[in-house]
C-alpha cells in the first residue's frame, strides 16, 4: 500500500527543510503546519521509516508504519543472527547517538566515536565519552553530581574540601590539647584563660579566642591553617569513600571509568525498548535505564567528623607542643610546683571539697574557691578567714593552713585544724597521744591474725602486722577506745592554747584507717603524725624536735604512751634538751 497524497506532500516539505533531528522536525510540523504534538510525532515517525533522499515519496510502494522500529531490529538480531546485526540498522536511526566505530591504535589500545551505542545479543554498551555527565538516564548520576562521582572513583584524585577560617572556632580537641593550651596560658601569664580551661567543660570557640590572644599572630595563622588543611584533606577522603560505598550499593549498571561507558544486559535493554517504543537511538538514550541516585546528600553529609582518624587533633597538638617547647623557660614547672603546694596543703590540712569548687576547713573558718580564687600564674591565693578576705602568696598560705611548706611535703604528717600565724603564737603546750594500746585497744599480732583468719575463712597473706591494713579491718575487729585516755583527751582539748597531736608508729598509708577509728569516736587532733624512716622511737623523737621548732612558745609537753621503754626514752630526751616533758604511762 502506497502513501496518501497529503502524506506525500508533508513528507516532501520535511525534506525541503533540510532538518534531520526529531526536535527540529516536530517543531516545524507544529509551528509551521499547525499540527498538534501527538500528530507531529506520528508524521515524524512516518517520515523517518520511509525516508527518501530524493524526496520522491510517490515511489514508496511498501509503506512502513511500524510503531516500534528499534524493537523490530532487535527481534531480527535475535531471530536471524547470521543475517542481521547492528550494521544493518539504517543510518537514519542514528543522530547524536551514533553506531560505535572503533579505531585500533598502537599497543592494543582503541578509541571510539562518542557518544555511541554498541549492540549485540548479549549486552548493549553506551560509550558516552566527554558528554557522559549529560546522560543521567543511562548512568544514574545527575549532571550536577557527576564531578563528585568522578572525584570519588578517580585513581588520581586528591580532592579536599576547603574550609574557611571560621571552622577553626569549632576545632576538635582532647585532654592533651587542653593541657597544652593550659601551658600556653601559664607561659603567657594569661590567668583568665587558665581559669577557664580548668572549668568542667571548656569549648573550642572560647579556646580559639584565647589562642589568638596568647599566640604571636604569624604562629596562630599557621596553627589555624595547618588544622584547616588537615580537616580539608580528611573531609575529601571521607566524602569520596562515602560516595563510593553508597554508589556501589545503590547503582544498577555501573559506569566503566576507563572508557566512560555503561553496559546493560540485552534482555533488560530489550524490555525497555518494548515498553517505550523509541523511534531512534537518541530517544533510546533518553529512556530511564536506571533511576538516578542522590549523591549530593551522601557527599555533603560526610566529613572529617566521620573519620576514625584523629589526625587533625594530632596535628593541632603537635603545633601547640612545638610552641610550648620553644617558649617555655621554666614557667610551667614553676606553675606545677605551685599547684602541688596548694594541693598538698589541701590534703594535709584536711580541707574538704564541699560543693562545686568550694573548699572549707573542718571548723568552717577558712574557705576558698579552687577555680576562682587561686592565681597559679602569679602564685597567689585569695581566701576568707573568719569572714575577712585575704590574698597571700602560696608560701604564706601554708602558715594560715598550719605548717611550713617543708612540712607539707612530708607524707608522714596530716593536719586537722587550721591555725593562722597569730594563733600559733599562743600555743604554750603540746599534748601528744600514741594510738595503739594508748588511745585505741587494737588487736595484737598473734590474736589479730587468728581472729582475721577465722572470720574471713582465708589464710593471712602477710608476715608483718602493724604495717598492714588488715590489722585495722573494722569488718573483722570491733576497735574501741580506751576510756581513761579518752577522758584525758577531752580534758586536754578544752584549752585552745594546747596543740593536740596524735603520734603513732603506724605508717602513712594507714592514715585513713587510723583517723576513721578516731573520728567516729569524736576524737579529732590538730596534727596527725605517722612513722617516718627508721625505727618507731627515732621517728617519734624526730617529730618531737620539729614540733618544738615550729612552736617556739611552748613551755610544756605532755605525752600518753603504752610502751614503757619509749616513755622512759621520751623523758630522758626532755631532760637532755631542757624541755618540761611528762609521760603518762598507759596500761590495759
Same domain, 395 and 529: no
Can you point out the beta strands (E) in 472-535? 480-481, 498-503, 527-529
Q: Is the residue at 91 inside a domain?
A: yes
Same domain, 102 and 123: yes
Q: Is the residue at 525 inside a domain?
A: yes
State residue 410's pLDDT score. 55
Q: Is the residue at 385 inside a domain?
A: yes
Same domain, 86 and 139: yes
Same domain, 219 and 98: no
Same domain, 384 and 510: no
Q: Which helix (H) or strand (E) holds 38?
A: helix 37-49
CA 9 to chain centre: 78
Same domain, 121 and 262: yes
Burial-class residue 338 by CB neighbours within 10 Å (0-12, 13-18, 19+): buried
How many structural domains are present in the chain? 5
State residue 403's pLDDT score. 34
Residues 6+ apart with CB under 8 A from 376: 186, 191, 194, 335, 338, 339, 342
Q: Is the residue at 549 inside a domain?
A: yes
- Cell numbers placing 316: 593541632
* Residue that terminates a domain, selected from 22, 38, 59: 59
State residue 409's pLDDT score. 44
Buried residues in 428-463 as b, exposed as e (16+ CB within 10 A) = ebbbbbbbbbbbbbbbeeeebbeebeeeeeeeeeee
Question: What pTM, to 2 d.p., does this model score?
Answer: 0.56
Contact of 20 with 95, CB cutoff 8 Å: yes
Same domain, 497 and 580: yes
Q: Is the residue at 453 inside a domain?
A: no
State residue 380's pLDDT score. 87
Same domain, 322 and 334: no
Which whole-number Å values give the CA distances from 9 to 2, 37, 57, 60, in the listed order?
13, 19, 9, 13
Q: Is the residue at 459 inside a domain?
A: no
Please give the biggest Cα pair distance in the chain: 148
* Residue that terminates a domain, selected from 289, 316, 345: 289
State residue 407's pLDDT score. 41
Per-block average pLDDT, block size 10, for the chain (588 residues)? 87 91 90 91 86 89 86 92 90 91 71 93 95 96 94 82 91 94 90 84 94 93 94 93 95 94 96 92 94 94 93 95 89 77 76 83 83 80 86 75 43 67 82 96 94 94 90 94 95 93 92 92 92 86 92 94 94 95 92
* Residue that terminates a domain, selected from 277, 310, 327: 327
Same domain, 236 and 380: no
Domain that holds residue 11: 5-59
Same domain, 384 and 515: no
Amino acid at each position: 500500500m502506497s502513501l496518501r497524497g497529503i502524506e506525500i506532500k508533508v513528507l516532501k516539505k520535511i525534506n525541503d527543510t533540510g532538518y534531520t533531528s526529531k526536535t527540529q522536525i516536530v517543531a516545524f510540523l507544529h509551528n509551521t503546519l499547525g499540527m498538534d504534538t501527538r500528530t507531529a510525532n506520528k508524521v515524524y515517525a512516518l517520515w523517518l521509516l520511509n525516508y527518501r533522499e530524493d524526496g520522491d515519496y510517490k515511489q514508496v510502494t511498501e509503506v512502513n508504519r511500524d510503531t516500534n522500529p528499534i524493537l523490530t531490529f532487535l527481534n531480527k538480531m535475535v531471530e536471524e543472527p547470521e543475517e542481521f546485526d547492528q550494521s544493518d540498522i539504517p543510518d537514519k536511526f542514528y543522530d547524536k547517538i551514533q553506531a560505535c566505530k572503533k579505531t585500533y591504535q598502537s599497543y592494543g589500545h582503541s578509541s571510539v566515536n562518542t557518544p555511541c551505542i554498541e549492540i549485540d545479543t548479549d549486552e548493549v554498551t553506551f560509550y558516552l565519552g566527554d558528554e557522559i555527565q549529560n546522560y543521567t538516564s543511562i548512568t544514574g548520576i545527575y549532571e550536577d553530581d557527576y564531578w563528585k562521582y568522578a572525584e570519588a572513583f578517580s585513581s588520581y584524585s586528591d580532592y579536599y574540601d576547603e574550609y574557611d577560617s571560621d571552622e577553626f572556632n569549632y576545632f576538635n580537641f582532647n585532654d592533651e590539647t587542653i593541657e597544652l593550651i593550659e601551658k600556653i596560658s601559664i607561659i603567657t601569664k594569661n590567668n583568665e584563660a587558665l581559669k577557664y580551661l580548668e572549668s568542667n567543660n571548656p569549648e573550642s570557640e572560647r579556646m580559639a579566642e584565647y589562642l589568638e590572644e596568647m599566640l604571636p599572630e604569624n604562629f596562630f595563622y599557621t596553627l589555624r591553617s595547618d588544622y584547616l588543611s588537615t580537616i580539608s584533606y580528611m573531609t575529601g577522603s571521607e566524602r569520596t569513600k562515602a560516595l563510593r560505598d553508597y554508589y556501589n550499593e545503590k547503582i544498577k549498571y555501573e559506569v566503566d571509568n576507563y572508557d566512560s561507558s555503561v553496559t546493560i544486559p540485552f534482555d533488560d535493554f530489550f524490555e525497555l525498548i518494548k515498553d517505550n517504543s523509541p523511534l531512534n537511538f537518541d530517544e533510546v538514550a533518553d529512556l530511564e535505564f536506571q533511576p538516578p541516585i542522590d549523591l549530593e546528600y551522601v557527599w555533603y553529609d560526610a566529613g572529617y567528623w566521620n573519620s576514625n582518624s584523629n589526625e587533625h587533633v594530632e596535628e593541632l597538638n603537635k603545633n601547640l607542643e612545638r610552641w610550648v617547647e620553644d617558649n617555655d623557660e621554666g614557667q610551667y614547672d614553676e606553675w606545677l610546683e605551685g599547684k602541688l603546694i596548694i594541693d598538698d596543703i589541701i590534703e594535709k590540712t584536711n580541707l574538704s571539697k564541699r560543693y562545686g569548687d568550694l573548699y572549707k576547713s573542718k571548723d568552717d573558718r577558712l574557705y576558698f574557691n579552687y577555680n576562682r580564687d587561686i592565681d597559679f600564674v602569679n602564685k597567689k591565693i585569695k581566701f576568707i578567714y573568719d569572714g575577712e578576705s585575704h590574698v597571700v602568696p602560696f608560701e604564706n598560705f601554708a602558715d594560715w593552713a598550719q605548717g611550713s611548706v617543708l612540712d607539707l611535703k612530708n607524707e608522714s604528717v596530716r593536719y586537722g585544724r587550721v591555725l593562722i600565724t597569730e594563733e600559733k603564737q599562743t600555743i604554750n603546750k603540746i599534748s601528744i597521744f600514741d594510738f595503739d594500746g594508748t588511745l585505741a585497744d587494737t588487736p595484737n599480732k598473734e590474736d589479730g591474725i587468728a581472729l582475721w583468719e577465722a572470720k574471713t575463712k582465708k589464710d593471712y597473706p602477710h608476715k608483718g602486722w602493724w604495717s598492714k591494713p588488715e590489722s585495722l579491718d573494722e569488718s573483722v575487729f570491733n576497735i574501741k577506745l580506751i576510756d581513761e585516755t579518752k577522758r584525758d583527751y577531752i580534758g586536754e582539748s578544752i584549752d585552745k592554747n594546747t596543740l593536740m597531736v596524735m603520734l603513732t608508729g603506724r605508717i602513712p598509708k594507714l592514715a585513713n584507717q587510723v583517723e576513721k577509728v578516731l573520728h567516729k569516736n569524736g576524737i579529732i587532733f590538730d596534727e596527725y603524725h605517722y612513722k617516718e624512716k627508721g625505727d618507731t622511737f627515732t621517728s617519734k623523737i624526730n617529730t618531737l624536735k620539729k614540733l618544738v621548732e615550729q612552736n617556739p612558745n611552748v613551755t610544756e609537753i605532755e605525752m600518753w604512751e603504752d610502751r614503757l621503754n619509749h616513755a622512759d626514752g621520751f623523758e630522758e630526751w626532755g631532760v637532755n634538751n631542757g624541755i618540761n616533758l611528762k609521760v603518762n604511762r598507759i596500761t590495759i
